[in-house]
Each structure stands twice: as structure tokens, then as C-alpha cells.
Structure 1
Amino acid sequence: MKNIRWMLLLLVSIFFIPTHQLVSAEKQLTVQANTVVNVRENPGLDQTVIGKMEIGKAYPLLKEENDWIEIQYTSTSTGWVAAYLVTKNDQNTDNGTIETGQSPSISTKASITENGLRLRKGPGTNYQVITTLGKGIEVTVLSTNGDWVQIKTNLGSGWVHNDYLLLEDYQIQSNTIAEKEEANHQSATVIEDQVNLRSDPSTTAEIIGKISIGTVITIIEEESNWAKIQYSGNIGWIHKNLLESSDIESRKGEKTDKTIKLLYDRTNIRSDATVNSKVLLVANSGATFQAVEVLDDWYKIKLSSGEFGYIAEWIVEDIATESQQVAHDGDSTDLKGKTIVLDPGHGGKDSGTIGVIGTLEKDLNLRTAKLLANKLEASGANVILTRKDDIFIPLQNRVDISHFYHADAFISLHYDSIKDSSINGVTSYYYTSNQKKLASSLHKSIIEATNRKDRGVKKNEYVVLKQNRQAASLLELGYLSNPAEEQTLLSSKYQETISTAIYHGLENYFRY
């Protein structure tokens, strides 16, 4: 009987042991994206897109299936994302902070010692590159694997080789002190084009990059007539005479009266002209707004509530003026009724080249194609895009589209990359003799309009040219491997200029 009583007491005690400690020890995996990633209804590139991940936001990981991950997309819905496009983080469910294996008051910090350091998805050179980091950038160390270190950056988490990290341990200061230090940083605008970014405050110091006119940078330190600046992942020095104060609180923008249209779903409309400002509204592709002011690379827009918000210039298009103006200049009808197939290179699982500061070629190709399509359609041309979204299209399928629509002109749009980061310029390609006239006409117009380095019109056996019976050309519109050129290529001014140049190149081709 005694044995039975002891067994009953033991069972009762087990059932009444508090379980909250076990729950708090559980870990929740999350994922985050460093670029715009489609969230799909089911696993597969052919599945319906229900939205896009917000860059840098952590989403709870629910399930993994082959190369796909199911996430908690909103509080009431789930979705699937491609595993190779996101980064997994190990988080505590009770506070949501990334686990580093150290006490909450101590954080292992490090700084990057080389410019152009590649942040990878895993510990090895065979893993995909997420983005590149600049010298002097501070990061948080999460874990190690042999000679590789997992770090957390403002662009997300990833792996770098330990040869390029300078480690240091320090006590985390209060948020109030950190906020005060950040508040002391001033912003400024570059007032000359192709300004040298140097490694030290001297005209004889190494040039580590170039910055285009109108670029807004952050000043983190001053020494004599030099300013130490942070810009697109790089830290370097610029002479103060080349900068103009651009504190957002005191700046006034240029008045405008444009109707703009969003290019992407789940676009954030913010309370101020910075990516860190509060999100007032999330809108989808095709939504239109009235812009009242242009502030650097941001539009100030009027919302239906009567409030004003800000939206980045590079994720919208002006539908009220530019495309119509191009069509009416010279009142030309040379493009009316012509069938133009525009082929934005790469897409979906094929990102194309990745720029120094993380630009995905596939996204820029599509942006240029849509802008050009608007101009051509306004002139009366029949425009066909081989892809309108971020999807993968095999090369032969692109050629088949050209043949199916009996294209009067087929243009494949690309941006180039090479190991030598100083190389820049534009190259145009053809394969057959009947394609050379088109390539030459486009190339001449582009060089005249952009004043970029002329890298020539060349013959090449690209599939979209060699297999294409129609007049076709493949255009490399600049080098994403050149940090200064990458910034220029991303600017709305260049995108407008290049798309208008191609438009006029086509006009001249059909005219003569």
C-alpha cells in the first residue's frame, strides 16, 4: 500500500509542475528578406503572389518544404517564400531578440575591415551572395563556423570570413545615448557629379568610390575641411566644399503637379522622406496619387484622408507627363502600329548580376522596360513584354514570343558586371546583319543622350539574338559592378534618360 501511495503522490506532483519555464525556453525560428521577395499562396514559382515581404522584417517560420518556407505573413494569413531568397534567424519567443549565446547586457560587436566584403547566406564561398558591405561598418556577431562568422547587419544576417572582421566587446549603452549620438549625425547633399570618396581626409588618399550629384549622404565626423560620411554601405571622406547641408527638417522641395503610379505591391507610404520614417499607408501596384513636391528622391503626395505622405521616387512612374511628352515631341508617327517586344532580362530565380550595394539586375531590367513601354504605347506602338513581373522565363520562350507576335523590333534589356569595378559604359549587341541596323540605331541614340562611355556595337551569340529571326538587339545599359555607376543607373533621372533614348533610337530605326 505504501508503494501505491508514493506512486500516486509522484504522479500528482508531475501534473502540477509549472510549465511556463518550459515555454519560455522554446525557440522560434524567423526569416527575413534583404530584398523584395514575393509571398505566394502555395510553394512554387507558378503559384499566386499574395504580397511581398517587407525588407528587414522578421516573419515567424512555420514549415519548410524542399526549397520553400511557409511563414506567418500577417496575423491572419500565411504564405510561402523561396528559401534561397531569405535568411533564417534563431529567436527567443518571449522577447523576439536574436540569440547570440551571451548575456543580455553584453553584445559581441565587430567592424568590417575591407570595402566590398560579400555577405553570404552560409559559411563558405559556395553560398549565394546577399549583398556587399563597406569598410568600417559595425555589425553584431551571432555565431561562428570554422573560419566563418555569422553577423547581423542593417541589411539582414549572413556570413563573412573572419579575416575581414575586427572584433571588440563592449557594454551596450542605453537607447537614450544611442539616439542622441545618431541625432548628432548630419545629412548633406553632393553638389558636384562623380565626386571622389576617399579612404582618408586627403587629396592623395586612395579613391574608394565615386558619388553622383544630388546624392544625400550622412556626415558622421568632421576633420578640418573634410567630412567623414556614410553612404550605401561605404564609409569614406569627402571635401566639405563639395557638400551642401540637407537636414530634412529645414529643406524645402521643388513644387510639382504630377500624377504618379505605384510599380509594386505593398509599397510603403511614409510620414517623412526617409526609409526609417513611420509607415502611414501600404498601397499596391497601380494605385495613383497626386504629387505636390519633390524632395531629393522622394515625392510628397496627398492622401485621401487629407494628410501628406512621402514615397520613394524609384518605385513609382510619372503617368501624367513624361510618356505623353515623348510621344508628342516632333509629332512623329514612325512608331504607330509597330510591334515592339521588350525583354527584361533574367527574373524569378535568376537574379542576374548583383550590384555593389545589392541592386538586383532583374529588378532594374524590369523597371527600365516598364518605363520604356509607357513611352512606346503613348506613341501608338503595340508593346509586348516577355515578363511583367518577377518570374523566370526560359531564353527560348523569349525568342518564341518574338516570333509569335512577328516583332518589328525585339529589345533585350540588361545591366552588366565585371571584376574590374572601374569599368563603365554602354554596349549594344546583334547577331545577324538584319539585326545590326537596329543595334546601331539604338546605340547611337543612347550614347548621344547619356554621354556614357561608348563600348561599341558588337556581334554576339546570345540565344535571344542567334535564335531570333526578327530584328533584335541586346543592350547592356551600364555596369552594376561599378559603385558610382550603380548609383547613377538607379536614379530616376538616368532611367528617364535611357528609356527616352531607346525610344528615339527606335523612332530613327523605323524612319530610315
Structure 2
Amino acid sequence: MKNTARLITFCLSFLLFFFIFLSDSHAENGRTYQVSTSSLNVRSTPSHSGEIIGRLNKGDKIVAFQEKHGWILTYYDGKEVWVASQFLAPAEGKTQSNDPNHVQQQQTNTVQVMENDVHIRSGAGTNHSIIGTANAGDTYNLKDTSGDWHQIALSGGSTGWIAAWLTNAQTASEQEQDTKTNSSNEEKSPSSEGTVASNGSLEGINIMLDPGHGGKDPGSIGVNRAPEKDLTLSITDRIAQSLRNAGATVIVTRTSDHYLSLDQRVDLSHSYNTHAFISLHYNAFPIETIRGFSTFYSSDRELANEIHSSIMQNINMQDRGVNQADFHVMRENNNPAILLELGFITNPDDLLMIQSGDYQNGLANGITNGLKNYFNSY
């Protein structure tokens, strides 16, 4: 028995030594980087939809233990975490660009395409010619980033440009917006009751606006040939400004013409401390005489009723009522969520009204007042 006990003790000591030796060697062999942007989110998974569990500041140093599709595995507060590699530089330094919208990348970084039939262009913008296509899962070496476009290495030594929002690699402008949004959320953390301030403002309330469609998904086409995706993006700015004037923190799922899947929209809602998610759409029907404004909900009828009632007090459009529906962005959303059909762009009268300043101001005021009523009551 004594020999057995000694053997077990020896084995445990050896394993402990082996573990410590490997851990120390692992850390010593890891490459050290420093943060090259003003603020960098620390996430639980190698994804922009991963939970944000902390933030690093410019100049902070980390040790990289693994790289995966443009993400670096490191340690933060004793936990394994991930940070976007394109915002890191070797600790010994790197060349800086004078252009604030241009971020030089390490050639060892990679970028993965997230959608099918993505255009590869000769330059950074949709005005440049298409020189190839990429599909979901394709991975390329990342050369540079300019604005919202990534330069990638192609076969034969050539390069091309691909829209960053169709990849897993965040751009500097997106990271900056991400940081501003999270900073704003922290500054305006809501009360535990989730109610508006006593003066009736929306201070402390986080509202996510979701302009429908975008990118390769145009949505419905109006009688004037205008795609729904452009109209939803345009009205979102007006609504966001009204909400911000009322003190709300506003997060927008997309701020440009790029594609987001339904799951990505829901993931964004879950990524923030969202108190109300509002998806914005315009309706369409083959018969031009069909018209009117509708509000849809999955489980949050109170939110739908308050906003719909307030909107109809502020606009002069046919009321098609509040209806329950099974739309993905509401059904899968853990936060209170509704979807607004802001009128029929296949009806000439609705379309004319939709484009008027009175309608747009009335819609923005209606949504703002409806949210005030909702958060005062619940």
C-alpha cells in the first residue's frame, strides 16, 4: 500500500509539473500584441455577435495563444477571450497610416466570407469593376482595409477588394461605432425597473431600430421603382433622431446598404441591453388599391398597442390595425420586439404620403411618444 501511495503521489507531482511547464512555455512562446485602435471589445467567442465581456484601450498588450479566422485567443481577467486581430499590432510597433479611415493589416491575418455570391472588385467601392466572386466559407489573406472594404490576396499574386460587412472581419469604422454604442449603453444604463425618467424622457432606455432588407435583398419595389431597402434606411434616420432627442440610446442594425440575415438582426438585439426592438418595413400588394399602416407583434402586444395607437394619432393613413404574426425577428427575439409596415409602396397615394415631411415627422413623433407611454406603464 505504501508503494502504491508513493507511486500515486509521484504521478500527481509529475503531472502538475508537466502542466505548469507546458502552461509557462505556452505563454512564453505566444506573440505579444498591442491594441492599435482607441478601444477594442473583448468577446466570449470569435464572432462579432459574441458577448462583449470587457474592453481594451489603445496601447494595452496581450499575448496571443491562437488565431482563428481573423480573431486572436488571449486571456482577460483570468478567462479565455477573443479579440479582432485587425486592431492589433506587434508589440514592437508597425507603420501607421495618416488616413484615419485606412488601417494597415498584417498579411498573416485572414478574412472569411459569410455570404454566397459576394462580388470581388478591383477597388474599394461598388463603383469599381467586378473581377470575381466568393462564397460563404471562402478564406483569404487580408492585405489592407480602407473604409468599409477589405483588400484580399487572390491567386497568382493579384489582389481584390471585398465588402467588409459580408465578412467576419470588422472594419475600423464598424469597431468605432460598436465602441461608441457600448460606451453609450454603459453611460445610460437603465434602472432596474426599466422605466423612463420622471420628466417623461427616454433616458436610460436602449432602442434598437432595424431597417428591413438591404444589400442583395431589395425588399418590395414601389410604383416609382424605389426599393424598400432604401426607404427603410432613410426613415430610420428620422426616427433615430427623434428618439435621441427624447434621451434614448439608439442602436441601428444597419447604417448602409448591406445585407444582414434575420439571425444576425436577432443576434444584434441580444448583444445589447435592448429594451425595445423595432423592425421597419413597407408593404406591397399586386392590387394598387390596397393601402394602410399595420403593426405586428409576436408576444409583446402591449408594446405594439402603445406604439400603433400613438402613430395613428400623428399620421393620416388608413389604419390596418395591430396583428399577431410569426416573423423571425420577433419570434426569436428575447427582447420586446415589434414590426411596423409603414404603408404600401405599391399604392400611389400611400407612397406619396410616405415621402412627405409631415408623414415622416408624424411617424417619428408617434414612435417616440408610444415608447414613452409604454415605459411609463410597464
In our comparison, the structure showing a higher alpha carbon Rg is 1
Higher relative contact order (CA 8 A, sep 6+): 2
* TM-score of the aligned structures, taking structure 2 as reference length: 0.49
- TM-score norm. by structure 1 comes to 0.37
